[in-house]
């Protein structure tokens, strides 16, 4: 009889052999639930007696968590964990772990790609050339990047890698808003720590890297966009719920800000009537900032490995609800 039971709740990957190797290392039996958008009843049917759950996008809500009999850990593929009810898991003394130390290169590359495409108007120019227009000036002036101010909202792993990459652009200054990072850490990396209002007012470019929590939901709305420069470029590769989509649409439509590059969205996949699709001064991507073949392998291995650590009585650094420790 297996020492532990682990269940993968995921329909993204063709197989879970990377994860299986990690669980088999400690004699755990690994099972798979591949239902798309499974209900609480479907999840509990397989997970009720599980010791570990590794989950992608399925909702592990209070109903599921309260029905778990002996679960010790819920591991979330990825950095975000908003599909897991952390409060309920804490009440049940179940550790929730994520994988914050993967795709740092990929997401920072995505932020830079969106940033440069906005600043240099690449999609519009590509479209113009393909339709026979040349040297079009209908989309307003371009501005030099060197000498400008770049604002980072959040200063965890990914924005620190992005900051490293930005050093080659000869910026005037990098501003950081993150109330949880000590000032000496920010200044030690050559940036200036400021409050959010200062960052919004002074930045030419703003890149968002905050977690989606109850207190950060729609942290970018009409009030925040109104404080930005009319030439500002706004980038979000973090979580769609951080931004009020309607407010962003209005800001772009009315010229309160110049451009936006958006990899993450409030509703995914985006609806057919998604308002941002009707604007030319926004670049949209399909939440693929995290992806490369290398990062996908790393994510799968670490999601299982951190769950294994908990089953073995160890404490991964990525435990979200540290009250359980």
Model confidence at 138, pLDDT cuts 50, 70, 90, reads confident
Q: Are the C-beta atoms of residues 176 and 157 closer than 8 Å to each other?
A: no
- What's the pLDDT score for residue 135? 82
Angstrom CA distances, 131 to 124, 125, 136, 162, 308, stand at: 11, 10, 11, 35, 55
190 and 311 in a common domain:
no
Model confidence at 62, pLDDT cuts 50, 70, 90, reads very high
Is the pLDDT reported for residue 1 higher than 80? no
Average pLDDT for 49-61: 97
Domain span holding position 269? 104-284
3 state SS for the chain: CCCEEEEEECCCCCCCHHHHHHHHCCCEEEEEECCCCCCHHHHHHHHCCCCEEEECCCCECHHHHHHCCCCCEEEECCCCCCCECHHHHHHCCCEEECCCCCCHHHHHHHHHHHHHHHHCCHHHHHHHHHCCCCCCCCCCCCCCCCCCEEEEECCCHHHHHHHHHHHHHCCCEEEEECCCCCHHHHHHCCCEECCHHHHHHHCCEEEECCCCCCCCCCCECHHHHHHCCCCCEEEECCCHHHECHHHHHHHHHCCCCCEEEECCCCCCCCCCCCHHHHCCCEEECCCCCCCCHHHHHHHHHHHHHHHHHHHCCCCCCCECCHHHC
Model confidence at 183, pLDDT cuts 50, 70, 90, reads very high
Is the pLDDT reported for residue 315 higher than 80? yes
250 and 148 in a common domain:
yes
- What's the pLDDT score for residue 242? 98
- What's the pLDDT score for residue 140? 80
234 and 129 in a common domain:
yes
161 and 79 in a common domain:
no
90 and 132 in a common domain:
no
160 and 265 in a common domain:
yes
Model confidence over 225-271: pLDDT tens digits? Answer: 999 999 999 999 999 999 999 999 999 999 999 999 999 999 999 99
Is the pLDDT reported for residue 74 higher than 80? yes
Quick one: what percent of the chain has pLDDT higher than 70?
100
Mind telling me the catalytic residues?
Answer: 239, 268, 287
Is the pLDDT reported for residue 136 higher than 80? no
Average pLDDT for 169-181: 98
- What's the pLDDT score for residue 137? 78
- What's the pLDDT score for residue 2? 79
122 and 61 in a common domain:
no
Average pLDDT for 193-221: 96
- What's the pLDDT score for residue 186? 98
CB-based contacts of 169, cutoff 8 Å, min separation 6? 145, 146, 150
53 and 96 in a common domain:
yes
136 and 62 in a common domain:
no
Model confidence over 14-46: pLDDT tens digits? Answer: 999 999 999 999 999 999 999 989 999 999 999
270 and 187 in a common domain:
yes
Question: How many domains, in total, are found in the chain?
Answer: 2
- CATH code for the domain of 182: 3.40.50.720
141 and 53 in a common domain:
no
158 and 49 in a common domain:
no
Quick one: what percent of the chain has pLDDT higher than 90?
91
What is the Cα–Cα distance from 307 to 98, expressed in whole angstroms?
A: 9
Model confidence at 125, pLDDT cuts 50, 70, 90, reads very high
Is the pLDDT reported for residue 80 higher than 90? no
- What's the pLDDT score for residue 139? 78
Average pLDDT for 71-81: 94
Is the pLDDT reported for residue 203 higher than 80? yes
């Amino acid at each position: 009889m297996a020492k532990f039971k682990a269940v993968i709740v995921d329909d993204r990957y063709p197989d879970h052999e990377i994860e299986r190797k990690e669980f088999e290392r400690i004699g755990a039996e690994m099972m798979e639930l591949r239902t798309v958008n499974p209900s609480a009843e479907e999840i509990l049917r397989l997970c009720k007696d599980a010791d570990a759950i590794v989950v992608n996008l399925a909702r592990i809500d209070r109903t599921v968590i309260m029905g778990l009999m002996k679960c010790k850990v819920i591991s979330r593929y990825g950095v975000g964990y908003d599909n897991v009810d952390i409060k309920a898991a804490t009440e049940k003394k179940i550790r929730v772990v994520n994988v914050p130390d993967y795709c740092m290169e990929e997401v920072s590359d995505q932020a830079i790609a969106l940033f440069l495409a906005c600043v240099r108007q690449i999609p519009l120019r590509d479209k113009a050339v393909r339709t026979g227009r040349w040297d079009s000036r209908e989309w307003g002036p371009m501005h030099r990047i060197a000498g400008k101010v770049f604002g980072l909202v959040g200063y965890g792993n990914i924005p620190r890698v992005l900051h490293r990459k930005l050093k080659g652009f000869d910026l005037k200054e990098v501003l950081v808003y993150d109330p949880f990072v000590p000032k000496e850490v920010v200044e030690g990396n050559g940036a200036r720590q400021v409050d959010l209002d200062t960052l919004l007012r002074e930045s030419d470019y703003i890149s968002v890297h905050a977690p989606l929590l109850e207190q950060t939901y729609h942290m970018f709305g009409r009030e925040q966009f109104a404080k930005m420069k009319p030439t500002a470029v706004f980038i979000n590769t973090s979580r769609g719920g951080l931004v009020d989509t309607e407010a962003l649409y209005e800001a772009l439509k009315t010229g309160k800000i110049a451009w936006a590059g958006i990899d993450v969205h409030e509703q995914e996949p985006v609806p057919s009537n998604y308002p941002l699709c009707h604007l030319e001064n926004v670049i949209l991507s399909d939440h693929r900032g995290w992806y490369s073949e290398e990062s996908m392998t790393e994510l799968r291995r670490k999601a299982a490995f951190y769950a294994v650590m908990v089953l073995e009585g160890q404490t991964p650094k990525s435990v979200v609800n540290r009250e359980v420790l």
